[in-house]
């Protein structure tokens, strides 16, 4: 039901009497009755952004597989996490579109929600029903803990760090190869799985918004 109704309420054309309203916050239309609705320009921005996010997620995963075959596990993890974030970003944009929310530039500024790594990682689970998936069977706390581990894994895949308790951590330290391999075993399938769901779902919907 969710899939069938996805985006059905989004306006594809403007009608006589509508006036474009461009504000600092977003791109909307006012109907003759004064009710805000998304403009054609805003819809196109959403469609273009979702396309780019999905294409970039695919690129990142393709590159991650090359690095995995070369034995570069930390960099593979990093790219797979970035791909997961791009998928999450696409789903956040889809949700905004179906909710007819303004395309708000503040969301893309520092500290905006599209700059929040953890929020983007959580997005596929949060908006899973948008793409026809059942509600998340796992407790919210468990999902948040997994996302925290995934986010920290991305940082540890690229940066040298130090803590008083553990001392130095480096992606080049062979001591952590086992841990990194285990982490890859959850992140890579997770990102690939979401892309297999989101990519064909979106491609089946997008043409109706380009008419």
Looking at the DSSP bridge assignments, the partners of residue 22 are 27
3-class secondary-structure state, position 176: helix
The pLDDT mean for the chain works out to: 81
CB distance 136 to 49 below 8 Å: no
Q: What is the pLDDT of residue 190?
A: 92
CA distances from 82 to 85, 129, 207 (A): 5, 22, 27
Q: What is the pLDDT of residue 4?
A: 39
Label residues 61-74 b or e (16+ Cβ within 10 Å = b): bebbeebbeeebbb
Question: Which residues of the chain are modeled with pLDDT < 50?
Answer: 1-35
CB distance 66 to 80 below 8 Å: no
Q: What is the pLDDT of residue 82?
A: 94
pTM of the shown model: 0.77
Site of tokens 């273009």: 48
Q: What is the pLDDT of residue 211?
A: 65
Q: What is the pLDDT of residue 94?
A: 94
């Amino acid at each position: 039901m969710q899939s069938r109704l996805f985006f059905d309420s989004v306006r594809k054309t403007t009608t006589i009497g509508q006036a474009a309203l461009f504000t600092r916050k977003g791109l909307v239309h006012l109907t003759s009755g004064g009710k805000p609705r998304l403009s054609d320009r805003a819809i196109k921005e959403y469609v273009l952004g979702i396309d780019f996010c999905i294409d970039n997620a695919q690129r990142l995963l393709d590159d991650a597989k090359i690095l995995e075959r070369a034995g570069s596990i930390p960099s593979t993890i990093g790219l797979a996490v970035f791909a997961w974030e791009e998928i999450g970003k696409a789903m956040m944009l889809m949700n905004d579109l179906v909710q007819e929310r303004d395309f708000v530039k503040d969301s893309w500024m520092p500290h905006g929600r599209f700059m929040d790594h953890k929020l983007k990682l959580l997005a596929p689970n949060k908006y899973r029903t948008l793409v026809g998936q059942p509600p998340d069977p796992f407790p919210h706390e468990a999902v948040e803990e997994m996302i925290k581990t995934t986010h920290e894994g991305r940082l540890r895949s690229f940066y040298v760090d130090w803590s008083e308790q553990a001392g130095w951590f480096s992606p080049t330290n062979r001591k952590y190869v086992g841990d990194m391999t285990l982490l890859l075993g959850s992140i890579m399938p997770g990102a690939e799985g979401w892309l297999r769901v989101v990519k064909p779902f979106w491609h089946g919907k997008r043409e109706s918004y380009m008419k």
